[in-house]
Amino acid sequence: MAPLSRAAGEPNPIDVLSYHARLQLLSPRQWMEGSVEITMTPIQMLSTFFLDLVALQVDSVVCRDHALRYRVLSPRLWIEAESSLAPGDTLRFTVFYRGAPGNDGFGGFFYLDEFLFTVGQGIYSTPPSMTRYWLPCHDEPADKAYWSVEIIAPRSVSALSNGKLLKKTEQDAVAVWHWREACPMSTYLMAITAGHLVHFKDQVVSRDGDAIALNFYARSEHESMAKSDWRRTGEMLLLFEKKFGPYPFDSYGMVEVPMRGAMEHQTLTSFSTYLITGNGEYENIVAHELGHQWWGDWVTPADWRDIWLNEGFASYCEALWQEHLHGTQGLQTTMAHFAAEYFLEADRLGAFSLYDPTYLWGATVYEKGAWILHMLRFLLGDFSFFNALQTYANRFGGKNATTSDFARVVSEIYGKDLDWFFQQWVYQPDIPEWRAAWQCETSAPRTYELQLTIEQRQRHGILLTAPLEVEIRLRNRALR
C-alpha cells in the first residue's frame, strides 16, 4: 500500500461531530483496549484525512457505508475513502485500537499510585493537545464534538468522565460506566479517571432557578480535607454567574488525582492531591479552574495562539474571588502580585507578546492576561466591562473565539474602536517605562502648588497610550 499521507502542515479539513468510545482499562498491565465510533463531515472535497494518535496500535477501521483504507504513521492515523467525500456528507466509522498510552510528563495518560487518569494539556508538547495519546481524534481546539464513553474497569474503582453518568452496570469483577456530555467540547477537555475514590455532593441553585449538581471525588483519607477546601465552590459559581452569565453546563465536578497542578476538563476538573490541604491554601486555584468552565470550556480559543483567552481570564477569576472576599483591597493585592510575577518573568525570559506567546504556561499568559482584563475594566467601567464579558459569552458560547472576536465585542460595548489597545497590549510585547518628578511650593498659607511631570521613555521608541491614575498622599488622607 502506498503511504496515505500529505505534506506536513497541510490542512485537515474535517469537522468531527461526535465520539463514542468504549475503553477497557487493564491497569495491572498499564494497558488499554478500546474502540471509538467517530461521526464526521468534510469541510471541503476530500478522500484522505487523518486523526491524531500517538504510539498506539490500530487493529482495524470499520465503516458500514464506505470502503476505507488506513495506515498508522505516528503521530497520525491516515484514512482514505474509496471515493471522494463532499461537504455535507456524513461519514461514520469505528477505530479499534490498543496499547500502553503515554504522556509528556504533565499531560496525556497516566497510571500512578493505583490511579488511572488523563490530563488534556501537555506543557512539554507542541501542540499541547494530549488526547491523541489515548484516543484517535481530531485533536484541535477548534473542532468541538459531542462525547460519550463506556469505561470498563474493575468493580472496586470509580470510573469517571465528563458530563452525566447515564448508567452503571456490573458483571462479575468488572463494571461498565457510561458517561455522556450534553454540550460539544474540544478534545483536550475530554477526561477519564479511575481509582479508589469517595463521592460527596453539593448543589447550588443558579440565577436561572436551575439546580446545578456539584460532584466531588477524593481519596477516602483526604475526604475531610477536600470537603473543607472545596466547600465554597457553589459560592464561587454564583459569583461568576453574576459576573459572566449563567453557568453553561448541567453539572460541575472535581476529582483528586496525583498530578501536578489542576486541569479544567469540561464539567470535571482534575485537581492535584498536593493542592488538598484542608486549610484553603489553594482556594484561588479552585476559583481559577471553575472560571475555566466559562473561559476555555464554553468559549474555547480557536487555536493555541489565543491561549490567554483561557488562562488570563481564569487568572482574573482569582482576582474577582479575592475582591468578593476582601473588597477592593483583596483585588488590589492580587493584581499587585500578578504584576510582580509578570515583571519577574519578563526580566528572566524577555518580554514577548500575549498573542502567540513564546511560552504558553507562564506569567505573561496568566498574570499579564489578567491585567489586560483589569485595564479594560478600568477603561470601560464595571457596568460596561461585565456587560462585554457577558456579551462575549453569549455570542461565542459553545463555539470557538479569537482575540479579534473578543476585541470586536469590547469595542462594540465601549462604543469606540479599541484596536489601539489590543495592538499595543496583546499583539506587541512592549512594557511601558515611566519616569515621574514632582515639586511642591507654598503659594499661600495652607495652600500648595504641586507640579507633577510624568514622562514615558521607551527603549524601542514606541510610545504606548495608557490612562494613568495618580495618587497624592497627604498626612492623613490620599487623593486620586
The mean pLDDT value for 152-172 works out to 95
Residues 221 and 336 in one domain: no
Residue 205 in domain: yes
Give the pLDDT score at 319: 98
Considering only residues 8 and 438, tell me which one the structure prediction assigns the higher pLDDT: 438
Give the pLDDT score at 2: 40
Q: Is the predicted pLDDT of residue 227 greater than 60, yes or no? A: yes
Give the pLDDT score at 435: 85
What is the distance, to the nearest Å, from the Cα of residue 3 to the centroid of all Cα atoms in its chain?
36
Q: Is the predicted pLDDT of residue 69 greater than 90, yes or no? A: yes
Give the pLDDT score at 112: 82
Q: φ, ψ for residue 74 (rounded to 5)? A: -50, 130
Rounded to whole angstroms, how far apart are CA atoms 341 and 361?
13
Strands (E), 140-250: 145-154, 158-161, 164-171, 174-185, 192-195, 198-205, 211-218
Q: How many domains does the chain have?
A: 4
Residue 407 in domain: yes
Give the pLDDT score at 461: 63
Residue 333 in domain: yes
Least confident range from 114-123, 269-278, 445-454: namely 445-454
Residues 334 and 289 in one domain: no
Contact 131, 307 (CB under 8 A): no
Cell of 363: 506569567
**Chosen domain end from 161, 196, 231:** 196
The mean pLDDT value for 381-408 works out to 98
Question: How confident is the model over 14-47, as pLDDT tens digits?
Answer: 999 999 999 998 766 788 999 999 999 999 999 9
Residues 409 and 463 in one domain: no
Which has the closest alpha carbon to 210: 252, 181, 180, 179?
252
Structural domain that includes position 125? 1-196
Residues 327 and 421 in one domain: yes
Residue 270 in domain: yes
Give the pLDDT score at 473: 82
The mean pLDDT value for 127-151 works out to 97
End-to-end CA distance of the chain: 75
Residues 80 and 110 in one domain: yes
**Chosen domain end from 293, 320, 337:** 293
Residues 44 and 159 in one domain: yes
Residues 405 and 446 in one domain: no
Which has the closest alpha carbon to 150: 109, 119, 194, 120?
194
Long-range CB contacts (< 8 A, 24+ apart) of 60-66?
Answer: 60/95, 60/96, 61/93, 61/94, 61/95, 61/96, 62/93, 62/94, 62/96, 63/91, 63/92, 63/93, 63/94, 64/92, 65/91, 65/92, 66/91, 66/93
Residue 144 in domain: yes
Q: Is the predicted pLDDT of residue 350 greater than 70, yes or no? A: yes
**Chosen domain end from 170, 196, 222:** 196
Residues 204 and 326 in one domain: no
Give the pLDDT score at 1: 35
Give the pLDDT score at 30: 84
Question: How confident is the model over 89-103, as pLDDT tens digits?
Answer: 999 999 999 999 999
Domain containing residue 130: CATH number = 2.60.40.1730
Give the pLDDT score at 58: 98
Give the pLDDT score at 3: 41
Residue 298 in domain: no
The mean pLDDT value for 387-408 works out to 98
Cell of 85: 467525500
Residues 34 and 181 in one domain: yes
Residue 299 in domain: no
Residues 57 and 187 in one domain: yes
Residues 212 and 187 in one domain: no
Domain containing residue 417: CATH number = 1.10.390.10
